[in-house]
Amino acid sequence: MLGIIGAMDVEVNSLKSIVTNKTSKYFADIEFIIGEIESSKVCIAQCSPGKVNAALCTQLMIDKFDIDNIINIGVGCSLDESVVIKDIVVASDLCQYDYDITALGEEWGLINGIDKVKIETSCELSKKLEETAKSCGYNVHRGTIASGDTFIGSKEQKKRINNHFSAVCGEMEGGAIAQVCYINRVPFAVLRTISDGGDENVQINYPEFKAIAAKISSEILLSYLRQ
């Protein structure tokens, strides 16, 4: 069964609406929709924004259902000049830019327990998503996605994250989902459509492009499931 996680209703509602043989279960106030899309067995959940919400949802999904792989879809901001609004980023790996124990002499972003800064995605899943997005006509980037519990909205913050992690996209869930999947040995992939530039124009661009970007992500995943 494929697990599908999005943070906001706009990222998963269109997929939920086409699930057949549908059942619904609740754990920790999170609704999990189980059924089929295009003959593929799926479990879909909206985790709500933020790393704790994402980690909770991911662990529950793995514990409660027969999950083979997880794909996290949604929107994110650009952290690189070559990545623009409506572009697609398929993560090669993920980091958590707000995980900072440098005061103890450790590298910025090093995660205790797994001793990693970046967690690699499934090559197979990511390659298929990349190929699907390209076949849909989108401009696709492969690279590091940086996650944190802040909404990136300044050129200074954007530059600092990009310079250290070489990240091309920023968001608030993928790194936590990656950590949970890595610990549980569940293959995963993360796809983001760019909704804003992660700069001082975010209050203008994000509201305007959020729904459009979310729709693109769900359309790509639907095309992936049709293969």
- The residues annotated with a catalytic role in the active site are 11, 196
Number of residues that make up the chain: 227
Q: How far apart are CA 98 and CA 152, in angstroms?
A: 11
Query: Tokens 């959940």 belong to which residue?
Result: 45
Q: How far apart are CA 75 and CA 172, in angstroms?
A: 10
Sign of CA dihedral 47, 132, 182, 157: negative
Which run of H or E residues covers position 221? helix 202-225
Q: How far apart are CA 34 and CA 113, in angstroms?
A: 32
